[in-house]
Structure formats: structure tokens, C-alpha cells
Amino acid sequence: MITPDLRDVRRYLGWSLPEDSTLCEECVARLNACITPRSTWRIFPLKETEDAVIIENTVIRSASFRRYISGCTKVILAACTLGHEPDRLIRRASIGSVLEASGLQAAGSAMTETYFRSLHAEISEQMRKEGYYTAGWYSPGYGDLPLSLQTDFARLLDLEKTAGITLTDSFLMIPSKSMTAFIGLSEHETSCHDDPCNTCAMAGSCVYRRKGETHENI
């Protein structure tokens, strides 16, 4: 069972609900009854040039990613999914109720992030035993990191085989309630390992940071 913070579900929903509304709880329960969570990850060496970061034969030219990966000697590529059934449930719900379908979408997104957060915690615990510190996660599509890197995740992690994830022509994942991310590894602890908001590409425009909220309290 995946139990997201209901505040996250409401935030993803983006609609004002009455305080006594049970929509979010109901949608989480319905999704938990049908999800088939899967995850996969691998460690890769890093190589940096003057203008790029190279992982295997993938060349990444992204200023925000270079800042994120600074001080790291290796990187993990990780992915997770809730499976195909949430997409089917959302499609069926959309025929009869926009609110219900939106609630399921929001719950699914929050649950996917919660699942990845638990995966990150498991990876961090294992890496600490091997002498490495983990940075917060960083996904394709953040900042100037191109979404097209999803094809490299699919290739390097063999996502269709290991997690049942495929890509559309526009680099969106199927099932939709899936997530990929880089996780930097360093032999020395830095502030970014305690506070991923410090290296987030959206820090300058984040509406939650402007309200005084961070990854720890939103």
C-alpha cells in the first residue's frame, strides 16, 4: 500500500474542496486496490567535460544538471511505476465524472511521487553502507534538462523489460503514473544531500518556496 500525504493529493488536484470532502482518501483507496508497483535502478560512472556530463554514451548539456551533479562521482538512474491499471481506472472515470477522474489523476501523481520517495530512501540507505551519499532526485524535464532523455533511461534501464514502461513519440511514459530520475552519488556529504531544494532548478520560481514551504513541509 502506498500512502501519500493528502495535502499532496489536494495540491495536484488544484481544486478547492470542502474541508469535509473525502474525495482524496477515496481515490487513494481505489488506486491502492489496483496498482502493481515496480521499480528499477542502476549505478553509472560520471564523466565531465568543459560543456557536458557523460553517462555511458549519453551526452548531457544542461547547466542545471551540471550544478545538481557537482561533487558527485557516480549517478543512479532510477524508475518506478504504479502499473497500467490506474490509467484504465482514470479513463473509465472520465466518462462519468470530471471531478472523479481529476481526483484519481491527482492521487495517482501523489502516490507515484511517494513511491519514488520511498525508493530513494531505500537506495540512500544502501549507498550509505557502501560509503556514498545520495543527492535528491532530478528528473528529465526539470530546468533545462531535456525530456528526450527519457529515451536514454528506457535504453540504459531496459524499462520495458524491467518495469513495463514504454515511451510515446513525445517522450511521455506509459503507464502515465511512472517516474524516472537521476540520483547523484558522492563520497562526501554536502548541503544538497540534506536539502534537495538547494539544487532544484525551479528554486527561483517555485510558488511553494515563496510561501515559505519546502520539500519537508509542503
- Domain membership of residue 199 (yes or no) is no
* Dihedral angle sign, alpha carbons of residues 100, 102, 105, 106: negative
Q: Tell me how far apart the alpha carbons of residues 133 and 20 are, in angstroms, rounded to a whole number.
A: 42
Cα(124)–Cα(129) distance, integer angstroms: 9
Query: Which range marks the domain in which residue 183 is found?
Result: 6-187
Angle 91-93-96 from CA coordinates, rounded to 5°? 120
Tell me, yes or no, whether 212 lies in a domain.
no
Residue 196: inside a domain, yes or no?
no
Cβ atoms 158, 164 nearer than 8 A? no
Q: Which residue carries 544538471 as its cell?
A: 65
Cell of residue 43, nine digits? 549505478
Q: Does residue 125 lie in a domain region?
A: yes
120 lies in some domain: yes
| Number of compact structural domains in the chain | 1
Which residues are CB-contacts of 45 (< 8 A; sequence separation ≥ 6)? 55, 73, 74
CB burial string 128-155: b at 16+ within 10 A, e below: eeeebbbbbbbbbebbebbeebbebbbe
* Assigned domain for 213 exists: no
Answer whether residue 14 is part of any domain: yes
Please give the pLDDT value at position 210.
44
Q: Confirm if 52 and 7 have CB atoms less than 8 A apart.
A: no
CA distance 72 to 189: 10
- CA neighbours closer than 13 Å in the CB half-sphere of residue 195: 8
What's the pLDDT score for residue 203? 52
Task: Return the pLDDT at 198.
Answer: 52
| pTM exceeds 0.75 | yes
What are the beta bridge partners of residue 174?
Answer: 166
The three cell numbers of residue 97 are 465524472
Q: What is the pLDDT of residues 106-123, one digit of tens each?
A: 999 999 999 999 999 999
Q: Could you list the pLDDT tens digit for every one of the 218 residues in the chain?
A: 999 999 999 999 987 888 878 999 999 999 999 999 999 999 999 999 988 999 999 999 999 999 999 999 999 999 999 999 999 999 999 999 999 999 999 999 999 999 999 999 999 999 999 999 999 999 999 999 999 999 999 999 999 999 999 999 999 999 999 999 999 999 987 654 444 455 554 554 454 444 445 444 43
CATH number at residue 170: 3.40.109.40
Residue 215 in any domain: the answer is: no
pLDDT of residue 41: 98
In single-letter form, the type of residue at position 99 comes to: L
Q: What is the pLDDT of residue 200?
A: 52
- 64, 201 Cβ separation under 8 angstroms: yes
Residue type, 177: K
Strands (E), 102-177: 133-138, 166-167, 173-174
